[in-house]
Amino acid sequence: MKDPITVSITGAAGQIGYALLFRIASGAVFGPDQPVNLRLIEIEPALPALDGVVMELDDCAFPTLNSITPTADLAEGFKDADWALLVGSVPRKAGMERNDLLNINGGIFTGQGQAIAANAKPSCRTLVVGNPCNTNALIAMSNAAGMPSNQFFAMTRLDENRAKSQLAAKAGVHHSKVTNLCIWGNHSATQYPDFTNAKIDGKPVTEVITDREWLEGEFISTVQQRGAAIIKARGASSAASAANAAIDTVISLINPTPEGDWHSVAVCSDGSYGIEKGIMASMPIRTNADGTWEVVQGVPVDAFSQGKIDATIAELVGERDAVKDLIP
């Protein structure tokens, strides 16, 4: 067994938390030889429910679970964290867009960013799941003085997985055959699931699925609206698939990306692809053998894609401007 790593998770008593904690504790994310300390952060009123989750974690007797610290105190919650998974926040209800939550949730991420900078390991990586996740990640990153911006991420992997599943179903293949699927921009209804560069079994999607009207229309809107469709059907926002995507994101950021492929996650833009510097935008990312990551350069952007990317980036710039009071 290696030395334990520490994973801090906010919103640990919530729906996503319930689907996330057990897989992290079981070794399914960091490996069967990697003990994990879980620091579980909740607001005071949710601490009794969190106690129940802790009892259940105890009752799993996971060999890889080293310790559990349930707390409402951010300093204690982020102490020595190697990873901070910021899930805790209010989900949207039917009829809302995710950025309708900015006023409700944005403020949560100022104190959490500060607490990460003050208490976590300097190498701590932070993944924001709570919506609107791109701009919440921007708020956390901007308030985490001294922490490198390349250690902050926002989750668009659920969108990537959704897009792969839609393309696979249309082509009649298993979803594992779909690669090079980039989600550009915001985790919102303006996101662009880029079918123009995606591949099925190594061939361009556009050669396998020749129904361009479907690709440009129904495919994109289905992916953009999938969260809303789940809220309508389930009466609550996606939780198990969101937890799964958070796990996929961490696994993709700690393991080298397969040759020629990429994965989607929102990172702080360095200006690549003309995306405004400093906003948290999803783009094609590769993880290197040494654990660093980079934006994949040279992915072709045709006129159709550029229009879609411009729209989602404009939305992100608008969100950033709307929260400027939360950004020091």
Ligand X SMILES: O=C([O-])CC(=O)C(=O)O
Ligand Y SMILES: NC(=O)C1=CN([C@@H]2O[C@H](COP(=O)(O)OP(=O)(O)OC[C@H]3O[C@@H](n4cnc5c(N)ncnc54)[C@H](O)[C@@H]3O)[C@@H](O)[C@H]2O)C=CC1
Among 137, 138, 158, 181, binds ligand Y (CB under 6 A): 158
230 binding ligand X? (CB under 6 A): yes
Between 167 and 223, whose beta carbon lies closer to ligand Y? 223
Q: 210 exposed, middle or buried (CB, 10 Å; 0-12, 13-18, 19+)? A: exposed
Q: Give the list of residues 6+ apart from residue 128 with CB closer than 8 angstroms, or none.
A: 86, 109, 134, 136, 137, 140, 152, 153, 154, 155
Site for ligand X in 155-194 (CB under 6 A): 158
Does 227 bind ligand X (CB under 6 A)? Our answer is: yes
Contact flags string 94-123 toward ligand Y, x per CB under 6 A: --------------x---------------
Nearest-10 crossing angle of helices 133-143, 108-119: 50
- Name the residue among 159, 154, 145, 90 with its Cα closest to residue 116: 145
How far apart CA 148 and CA 153 sit, in angstroms, is 11
Q: Rounded to whole angstroms, how far apart are CA atoms 276 and 198?
A: 24
Taking the complex as a whole, the smallest distance from the CB of residue 252 to ligand X amounts, in Å, to 18
Closer residue to ligand Y (CB): 235 or 298: 235
Q: Which residues contact 170 (CB under 8 A, 6 or more apart)?
A: 209, 211, 214, 219
DSSP run (H or E) holding 222: helix 220-224
Under the binding rule (CB under 6 A), the answer on residue 91 touching ligand Y is yes
State the CB neighbour count (10 A cutoff) for residue 148.
12
Measured from the CB atom, is 246 or 301 closer to ligand Y? 246
Provide the mask over 115-144, with x wherever binding to ligand X is found by CB under 6 A and - wherever it is not.
----------------x-------------
Q: Based on CB atoms, which residue is closest to ligand Y, 84 or 208? A: 84
Active site residue 174: no
* Active-site amino acid positions: 187
Annotated binding site for substrate: 92, 98, 131, 162
Annotated binding site for NAD(+): 11-17, 105, 112, 129-131
Annotated binding site: 11-17, 92, 98, 105, 112, 129-131, 162
